[in-house]
A and B are shown apart, each in its own frame.
Chain A
Amino acid sequence: MTTTAVQTLDAPRLRADFPIFEQRFHGKPLAFLDSAASAQKPRAVIDAMSTFYETSYANVHRGVYQLAEMATEALEGSRETVRGLLNAPSAREVIFVRNATEGINLVAYAWGLSNLGPGDLVVATELEHHSNFVPWQYIAGRTGAGFRLLPVDDEGELQLNALDAVAAGGTVKVVAAGVVSNSLGTINPVERLAAWAHERGAIMVADAAQAAPHRRVDVQALGADFVAISAHKMCGPSGVGALWGRAELLERMEPFLLGGHMIRAVGDERTTWGELPHKFEAGTAPMAEAVGFAAAVDYLHGVGFDAIERHEHELTAYALGRLAELPWVTAYGPPADRRAGIVSFNVDGVHPHDVAQILDFDGVAIRAGHHCCQPLMRRLGVTATNRASFYLYTVREEIDRLVEGLHKARKVLA
C-alpha cells in the first residue's frame, strides 16, 4: 500500500507573497474575507504581467518579426497552461474570454440561438449565479424555449430527485449549473447532472468560476460539454477567463463575436471562420492578462490544489463552529464537508450592509448583498446575506476578528 503525504500550506507565509497585505485599512491590517468575489494577486502574477509588457509585448499572430513571435508564444503558452489546469484534451478547445460570464454568454448565444426552440427546455438551478442564469433565461425567452429551475433544499443543496419533474413535458436541451455555489459554497454533483443531461441528449454547461480557485476542475471527469472559469477569482488578473468546450460542438457552432482574427477569408459577400480556438476570439486578445492567468495557475499548482482545498475546509469548519456559538446568527448552506470556503449568514436584526460597514472599520472585508443570486435569496426568504469567504492566504485570526466585529454590530444595531 502506498500512502501519499497530505499536502498542507502555510498561510501566514503565503501572505507575504501578496503585496496588498502590506497595506492597512482604517489603521488595521487587512482581514480580506471576500475572495469569492475576487481573489488578491501574488507578486508572481503582477511581475509576470510587468515582465511581459517590458520584454515581450507586441500584437500576437501574423506578425513576422521576432517580438510578435515572442508575444504569440506567451499567449499560446498560457493557453497550454490553462488546458493543463482543466485537463482539457486539446488546447484548441480552450477559448480566452473576458470572464466566465462572457464564456457562458458565448454558449448561450452561439449554441442556444441555433439549437433552442419551442418545446425545448433549459434547466438551471436555484443556486445559480446570475452569470449562468440570466443568459439562459434570456436566450430561452428569445427562442421560445422553456426555462426551469432545479430547486434546492433548505441547506442549499440541489434536489436531484426533482430533476425528472422539472423536465416534465419538454425536451431538455441545456442543463446549466455551477460547480460550486458562490453564495453558499455548496459543491454540486455536476457529474451526475451531466449524466442526466446526456441521457436526454442535452448539453451540460458548468460554471466553474467559484470551483476553479479551490479544487481541481477536470473537464473530462466532470463530463460537462462547456466549462467556464474566471482568472480573477484564482489569483489571476481581471479581464480574462477561459471557456472550455468540446471541439465537435465548438466546430458546429456559429461564431459569437465577429471581426478581426476570427476569420479564414473575408469576401465582399460572405466570410468564412477561422479554426478553433480563433473562431471565437475576435479582436486583439487579452495578452498580458492571459500571461498573468498562466502565472496564477502556476502559483496555485505550486501551493497545491489539495492543500488549498484542505486549508479552506478547515477554515470553513472553524468559521461555522464560531458562528454556531452565536445564537443570534443564522448560517446558510450545507455542512463544512460539502462546501468550499464560503460562509453566508445573517445577524438577527442587523442588515448585512450595516454588518459589513461596521466590520470595515476594523479592517475586516466581507461582502453583503444578494451575491448575484437573487433567485436563491428569495428561496432562503432573505433580501441579502453577509458572506465571508476564505482562500489560501486566510488565517484563523481573521475569522476571530470577524466574530468580534459581529458582536460589535449586534451591540450597536440590534
Chain B
Amino acid sequence: MSEFEQLYREVILDHYKSPRNFGLLDPSDATAEGQNPLCGDEVTVTVRFGEGDVIEAVGFEGRGCAISQAATSMLTDLVKGRPAGEVAVMPKEELLEEIGIPLTPVRLKCALLGLGVLKVALHRAKGTPLPGEWGTATGEISLS
C-alpha cells in the first residue's frame, strides 16, 4: 500500500464523509470546543451522561481536515457507553490505534484535537483529571 493509500484509507474517508454522532446534543451535560491554530481545525464536543458518569451519548460538530474530523468521529464511537473517569485517562495510543495510520507530528495534532476537547468537557462536568501528558498538547490546542 502506498503512503497515500495508508493515510487516506477507506475507513478514514468513510468517517470523514459520513461522520458518526455528528451534531451537538441539546440538552447536554458537558461541552467544550477547541481549535488547532496551526491549520484552523475546529471541534465542539457535547456529552450526555447516563447512570453515574457513563457517557450515554456524545455529539460533535467541527470543520477541518479529514484527519481531524475522521478521528473525532471514530473517537465518539470509541467512548460511548464508557465511564467518564475511564475516558479521562484513556491513553492517546488507544485512539491512534483505532485510526491506524502513520501520522507526522503536524498531523498528530489534527488527530488528537477531538480527544483533547472531549477530556476538557469531561473535566468541566465531572472534575476528571487532565492527565499531565496533555499539558503540552493542550498548550498547542487552544481550548475554550
Chain A residues in the interface with B (C-beta under 8 A): 26, 351-354, 357-358, 361, 368-370, 377, 383-384, 412-413
Check if B39 sits within 8 Å of A369, measured CB to CB: yes
Instruction: Give CA–CA (A368, B110) in the complex, Å.
Output: 13
Check if B8 sits within 8 Å of A413, measured CB to CB: yes
Check if A26 sits within 8 Å of B40, measured CB to CB: no
Check if B110 sits within 8 Å of A413, measured CB to CB: no
> Given A357-B107, A413-B8, A413-B16, does the pair A369, B40 have CB atoms closer than 8 Å?
yes
Q: Kindly count the residue-residue contacts between A and B in the assembled complex, taking CB atoms under 8 Å apart.
A: 47
- A-B pairs, 6 with minimum CB distance: A383-B40, A353-B65, A351-B65, A361-B4, A384-B40, A353-B39
Instruction: Give CA–CA (A358, B65) in the complex, Å.
Output: 12
Question: Most chain-B CB neighbours within 10 Å: which of A354, A377, A384, A413?
Answer: A354
- Does B13 count as interface, using CB distance less than 8 angstroms? yes
Q: Which residue of B lies closest to A26 (CB)?
A: B3
Instruction: Give CA–CA (A256, B76) in the complex, Å.
Output: 51
Instruction: Give CA–CA (A370, B38) in the complex, Å.
Output: 8
Q: 1/0 per position for B33-76, CB-CB distance to A under 8 A?
A: 00000111110000000000000000000011111000000000
Determine the chain A residues whose CB is within 8 A of the CB of B110 once the complex forms. 353
Which of A358, A361, A368, A412 is in CB contact (< 8 Å) with B39? A368
Instruction: Give CA–CA (A16, B110) in the complex, Å.
Output: 37
Determine the chain B residues whose CB is within 8 A of the CB of A383 once the complex forms. 39-40, 42, 63-64
Chain B residues in the interface with A (C-beta under 8 A): 2-4, 7-8, 13, 16, 38-42, 63-67, 107, 110
With A354-B67, A369-B40, A384-B40 given, can you name 20 additional A-B contacts, CB distance below 8 Å?
A: A351-B41, A351-B63, A351-B65, A351-B66, A352-B39, A352-B65, A353-B65, A353-B107, A353-B110, A354-B65, A357-B7, A358-B8, A368-B39, A383-B63, A384-B39, A412-B13, A413-B8, A413-B13, A413-B16, A413-B66
Q: What are 8 A-B pairs with beta-carbon distances under 8 A?
A: A352-B39, A353-B64, A353-B110, A361-B2, A383-B42, A412-B8, A413-B13, A413-B16
Instruction: Give CA–CA (A361, B107) in the complex, Å.
Output: 15
Instruction: Give CA–CA (A383, B107) in the complex, Å.
Output: 17
Instruction: Give CA–CA (A383, B69) in the complex, Å.
Output: 15
Determine the chain A residues whose CB is within 8 A of the CB of B2 once the complex forms. 361
Determine the chain A residues whose CB is within 8 A of the CB of B41 once the complex forms. 351, 353
Least Cβ–Cβ distance between A84 and chain B, in angstroms: 39
Least Cβ–Cβ distance between B13 and chain A, in angstroms: 7
Instruction: Give CA–CA (A351, B107) in the complex, Å.
Output: 13
Check if B4 sits within 8 Å of A369, measured CB to CB: no
